[in-house]
Structure 1
């Protein structure tokens, strides 16, 4: 059973008032008592009061009564005065520590309902999977739940057909946010950093943000995300678990991100990091809770490769590094990839992708002798320049790979015959597709521009 909320005495809440045709129904929660009033609209009506031993019992009863009336078709008449949001630091700290724990939200919902905060009802409805009643209730309190964010519920990227909502909701709060603005595709003239992200992080609905996606910011080829990173760096986001920078980027090498490294201290509990961009700066990576990290680029710089190789992430289980093409900014070399293989402190790593590299074949003997590879479940060598002639090197070291559940050589230049030769090197040799151009001058890594 969920823990009971602290036995603090709540303030009496304003009545909630509902109407159906010419009838009204009103409910008030005052400490451990529930008072209802009903009758014809315009009349004093009849009043009934019921007491309980504890206020959370009264809250539960009030919720049941409200649900029963709304099922009958009663519509709530919302007050024009927006109530102030309530706060309970102890309960909020428990949610921030584990924002995926639904039970913690339900405890908070009981407390909020006892304080007369509409968010308590929204939490109960969304957590209970009552989507239609939750939407109806949300729409009736939209100013309270969104405030200045109401103007930004759709992304400002102009791609209406994608129907990307700016906010996704769960357990009464904004669970995920996607910020995007393309000045060439949208008529909106604001700034994501000051007009969307700043009020989002200040609003009670954004208090437990779990996922954040950052895409284009004004001019996608010229403007970086540095002003957005500055806002994040000035806050503490203990509930943030997933950060994605770049989402369905069409020309990856044109997407300039800026200095991501300035935000690491603001996201101490991040578990999932994905960057899909051309130009960015990682700096000193210290992310003690990250489990999955993906760096999807057509041109990895030497500095960023060194940052990845030296990163402090002891819980890391999944790492994918795209290297890329020198024509599109790749200055990382084989040596930087080897620095990753030399790590002896990544005991939880099970998936390693050193991929999209021109030096893909040169990695083979180093992979075979790496202690890190021996602990892997999946070795991903996809998207790079791997030719039929390189299969001999893999077969010469096949004993080093036989423990692997998956060896991924997808999107390389291996022919079907070469892939067949690899059968048995690992439990599964994955090759979803391959390119078979015989002309060396047309062989390039899969992700470039």
Structure 2
């Protein structure tokens, strides 16, 4: 239950509020007492939401400050030397098992948790099922110790979900709930607590869904928290795990500057971004294998930053460029390093998607150096027409080594799809859109703009 306090002069008061469907419950009184409780029941959920917001606003205007939940209880044991062994090889079970033995000797319940999870990974059938129940029981029994009371509230209201591996949180997803939900912690508070919690000291994957459900879906503040507090084991980051346009339009999202993330986490293996307002400075990620940027309007500075990036181990690159009407800039001329495969010896998948300059790419790709080393090529969501398909077909030999070519959601007719249907063993060409170039404005549109 969110708690507010007011301390001024002789006043030393608290006020708490919670909502459950159509019921709003408040509790208030002097700090240190049980206080009084009042329950209001409304006919409709939206009436309860309105009442909740109004009550909170009134208390804030009176000077009440929202308090952050604090974890209580014993602190987990820590052995820096054994933790360092895990940090050197976070994917190997050996370090966890040695650490688990030490924790059990110290009476730390995480030791038992590690042992049970490791046994579960080795087991099959009925034994695996039984161990799964034991793991769940240990987690439930020691939730306050393994998660903490504050994060437990975020798990309960589902703004946080986690995957446990050998006693620690291996992956986590955070997202705001529906607009009518009122979690105890704000999303940035949950993120800070998670990244500083002992259970997340070996976190490997972090996913952020909607950061706000009022139309202001910004990630800049969350990026700064990640850059400042994320453990060095973090390998995968996905900002923007939402469904568009159902949850929000892709252009309504402001990813912000990703530079702090790149500078703080050079060990990243996968970085995925979805939304607009993306700012990419110098990119130097020596361990990165996958970079995906899905945008309805990617500015030219970001396009040039991708072209100049240093990621020698990159295997998968996918970029959605978007519409000029929504801020897209750059062109095929700003991708020369990529087309030349400069410092991209491991690249096997290339996606140049949602581009207004697909026609130019169809001319350049058959003669490019990068095409020769690719296994899959994605030109989906762009502005490819039958004339562009004919250019690809005229250079069929350049594409025959590919395992897959994706041209879905372009502007092809049956004639165009037939031209390229056999360029390689797997050509995806479904869900074509209508060519609107014969309209009044004479423009072709990418699949994802707003």
Q: State the partner residue of 1:202.
A: 196
Shift of 1:336: 1.9
Per the alignment, do residues 103 and 278 of structure 1 end up closer, same or farther by CA in structure 2, a change over 3 Å counting?
same
Separation in 1, partners of 2:263, 2:436: 49
Separation in 2, partners of 1:436, 1:267: 43
CA contact (8 A) 1:154 1:166 kept: no
Q: State the partner residue of 1:171.
A: 166
CA contact (8 A) 1:408 1:431 kept: yes
Q: 2:321 aligns with which of 316, 320, 323?
A: 323
Separation in 1, partners of 2:151, 2:262: 26
CA contact (8 A) 1:180 1:214 kept: yes
Per-residue CA deviation, residues 80-113 of structure 1 (Å, 9 max, x unaligned), is x944322222332232233222333222212211
Q: State the partner residue of 1:131.
A: 132
Shift of 1:154: 4.6
Q: For 1:295-314, list aligned pairs within 5 A.
A: 295-314=293-312
Separation in 2, partners of 1:261, 1:219: 25
User: Where does the alignment leave 5 or more consecutive residues of structure 2 unmatched?
Assistant: 1-71, 121-130
CA contact (8 A) 1:294 1:321 kept: yes
Higher Cα Rg, which structure: 1
CA contact (8 A) 1:155 1:181 kept: no
Separation in 2, partners of 1:290, 1:203: 26
Shift of 1:183: 7.8
Per-residue CA deviation, residues 339-384 of structure 1 (Å, 9 max, x unaligned), is 4213421000000011111110111221112111111101111110
Secondary structure of the 1:243 match is strand
Q: State the partner residue of 1:94.
A: 85
Per the alignment, do residues 234 and 335 of structure 1 end up closer, same or farther by CA in structure 2, a change over 3 Å counting?
same
Q: State the partner residue of 1:355.
A: 353
Q: For 1:7-406, list aligned pairs within 5 A.
A: 82-129=73-120, 130-147=131-148, 148-154=150-156, 165-181=160-176, 184-188=179-183, 190-193=185-188, 195-218=189-212, 221-222=215-216, 224-250=218-244, 251-406=249-404
Shift of 1:207: 0.7
Separation in 1, partners of 2:181, 2:369: 51
Shift of 1:139: 0.9
Separation in 2, partners of 1:273, 1:119: 30
Separation in 2, partners of 1:220, 1:297: 20
Secondary structure of the 2:417 match is helix
Secondary structure of the 2:278 match is strand
Per the alignment, do residues 117 and 156 of structure 1 end up closer, same or farther by CA in structure 2, a change over 3 Å counting?
closer
CA contact (8 A) 1:174 1:208 kept: yes
Per-residue CA deviation, residues 116-160 of structure 1 (Å, 9 max, x unaligned), is 211011112122222211111111111101112111115666xxx
Per-residue CA deviation, residues 24-48 of structure 1 (Å, 9 max, x unaligned), is xxxxxxxxxxxxxxxxxxxxxxxxx
CA contact (8 A) 2:255 2:274 kept: no
Per the alignment, do residues 399 and 434 of structure 1 end up closer, same or farther by CA in structure 2, a change over 3 Å counting?
same
The TM-score normalised by the length of structure 2 is 0.75
Q: How many residues align?
A: 361
Separation in 1, partners of 2:338, 2:170: 34
CA contact (8 A) 1:249 1:276 kept: no
CA contact (8 A) 2:314 2:344 kept: yes
Tell me how large the CA RMSD over aligned residues is. Answer: 2.2
Bigger mean CA deviation after superposition, 82-91 or 133-142? 82-91
User: Where does the alignment leave 5 or more consecutive residues of structure 1 unmatched?
Assistant: 1-80, 158-164
CA contact (8 A) 2:290 2:315 kept: yes
